[in-house]
Structure 1
Amino acid sequence: MTATDLDDSSKPEFSSYDSYRHFASRVRHERRYVWDAPVQAFVDTVLATIKDRDVELREGMVLFRAQAGIEYYVSDENQGEQPSGYGAARMKPRPNRSTEGRANPAGMPVLYLGTTEKNVISEIRPWVGAEVSVAQLKLKRKLRALDLSQGHGKSHLNLILGHILNGTPMSLEEKERAVWISIDNAFSQPVTRSDDMADYVPTQILAEVFKNAGYDAIGYKSQFGEKGLNIVLFNPDDADVINCAPYRVTGLEVSFKEIGNRWYRAENMNPSGTPTTGKSKKTRKAKA
């Protein structure tokens, strides 16, 4: 990579619509803790292009958090074991004992919250019949948050396709929009247990960059329901657990889309190379 290929925070301008992908690849596989010039240039340009993304989370705002499992207690009325949500301590991450997440490395806890019960329950990937504790937490002070939901579900390919076909360069604004769409989608991408931990690195770095820039929280869209918004508090002590209830998952909604070309077995192909949908009927000429 030459100096002319670097993102430029002084303009500010990303060198390519694909700058986020290049950054993500470098920090996953080449440079993670000691940044080289391309990584530093990307981070600086991200900070220089934050526009109209500041959101204030008001003091007293109530958000939700879900954890798999519930507790049982024996009531004083001889009714047997009764279900209860986990205690307050269980509904917040343990200091210095947190696991890897989209916005934090292991051992550096943040507090993952959401704006609806549905989206926080969905985020923990429960099965039908699973028991889940859902707590309400109240913000203890006004927080400055960065909105990462503006590019949710969009594709930067719509911005670049015409330029690729016509051989015309993208404008500064178009490249910037494309990069931020990639950032927004990277944070909202669902986390699974089978994910490679290296896949978290790009968003973990950016989360720490945003924290260092003075943000108290970030918000990004949930993939589970259009109304849900995930909120990450960089300091878990900025919210108090005010209650917690036990839930049981009674159903799951599944949506899907085909993401690649379908393959066909050779015996199901026509001589022309096109797939058949069934056996063709033979026709017979009538005798004169």
Structure 2
Amino acid sequence: MEFKSHNDFNTFQRHVRFERRYVHTAPIVEFLAALTATLPGRTCSLSKGAELYRAQIGYDKDHVEGDVIITGFSEQRMKPNHEFCGEGRANPHGIAYLYLSNHLDTCMAEMRPQLGQMLSVAQFKVQRNLHLVDCYSVEQEFGDIELIFSPPTTQEGIRNAIWWQINQAFSRPISRGDTSSDYIPTQILVEFFRHHGFDGVCFKSGLGEGHNFVLFDLTAAELINCGVYDVKAVKYEFGECTNRYYKKKHLENLS
């Protein structure tokens, strides 16, 4: 089974968000069948003993001999809880997964903290060898404009484009304007990966260096320490990505 075009992923997203979610339409069945055929080449491992990081905005306070001591959140707070977890990029409401990063600063950036806020940051150690879906390793990266004007035509190019779009869907930073339906495509993919026996998903971060991980088993990594960090600075970088337009009268003034 092969993908028909690089647009197959967008078709999948549109159908599961706006048409049918739990009983899949024919294009979604075909897309997932083609995705299944590519899974053997999309695997990576996370070895027992690997150290990863997780951040949460906020901290705890202890009172010791009349003094107030700032400390990181407890282990119970630093691990998600099925009863209280909301919607996430990988998990629907009520199903908890462990979101981690292999880069300290990136795990904090993923929280989108504001200047002056304080975060609890825990270090976790992986407890067993894990078999993950590798979303990020593609031979070519694609921009949205490139896919519009220079779409891939070979099956290899289409596969790369599909997996690059999947990586982008997982790594896109969560924004205040997101709705729960924005997460449906990636949530379905996660359950699809779990069904095929994987322990988690790995993808590039959209907010920093390194990679992010979603582990399906909350016991697959154990908290070994937790500290508190404060936000010293917030930096944005911008670049113009399309041609600028000019109003006609101003364009004439440039000539």
**Common fold by TM > 0.5:** yes
- CA drift of 1:263 comes to 6.1
Write the distance in 1 (CA, Å) between the matches of 2:231 and 2:192.
37
For residue 117 of structure 1, report the CA deviation from its aligned partner. 1.3
Tell me whether 1:238 sits opposite 2:215 in the alignment: no
Is 2:142–2:161's contact at 8 Å kept on the other side of the alignment?
Answer: no
* One-letter amino acid matched to 1:215: F
Q: How many residues align?
A: 254
Q: Which runs of 5+ in 1 are unaligned?
A: 1-8, 164-168, 281-288
Q: Is the 8 A contact 2:141 2:161 kept in 1?
A: no
For the Cα contact (< 8 Å) 1:139–1:238, is it kept in 2? yes
Distance 2:141 2:236 in 1: 17
Amino acid at match of 1:91: M
Give yes or no for contact 2:15–2:25 (8 Å, CA) kept in 1.
Answer: no
* Cα offsets for 1:28-81 (capped at 9, x unmatched): 0001011121111111111111253211111121110000001111223x5x21
1:108 equivalenced with 2:91 (yes/no) = no
Matched residues in 2 for 1:222 and 1:25: separation? 24
Q: 1:248 corresponds to which residue?
A: 230
Letter in 2 for 1:52: G
**2:185 alignment partner, SS class:** helix
Q: 2-side partners of 1:28 and 1:275: how far apart?
A: 46
Q: Decide whether aligned partners of structure 1 residues 159 and 124 sit closer, same or farther in structure 2, where only a CA change above 3 A counts.
A: closer
Cα deviation, residue 178, structure 1: 1.8
Partner of 1:285: none
1:160-208, Cα deviation, whole Å (9 max, x unpaired): 7457xxxxx9222222222222112111111112202111111110111
Match of residue 60 from structure 1: 49
Contact 1:68 1:133 in 2 (8 A): yes
Report the CA distance between 1:93 and its aligned residue. Answer: 0.6
TM-score scaled to structure 2, two decimals?
0.91
> What SS class does the counterpart of residue 74 from structure 1 fall into?
strand
**Structure 2 vs 1, CA of residues 96 and 45 (structure 1 numbering), >3 Å: closer, same or farther?**
farther
- Match of residue 123 from structure 1: 110
Note if contact 1:134-1:247 (Cα within 8 Å) is conserved in structure 2.
Answer: yes
**Contact 1:145–1:218 under 8 Å retained in 2:** yes
For 1:256 and 1:162, the matched residues in 2 are separated by 24
Following superposition, the deviation at residue 240 of structure 1 comes to: 1.2
Does 2:68 correspond to 1:81?
yes
Distance 1:162 1:143, change over 3 A: closer
What does residue 274 of structure 1 align with? Answer: 251
Higher helix share: 2
Distance 2:129 2:253 in 1: 62
Using the aligned pairs only, state the percent identity: 37
Secondary structure, in 3 states, of the residue corresponding to 2:114? coil
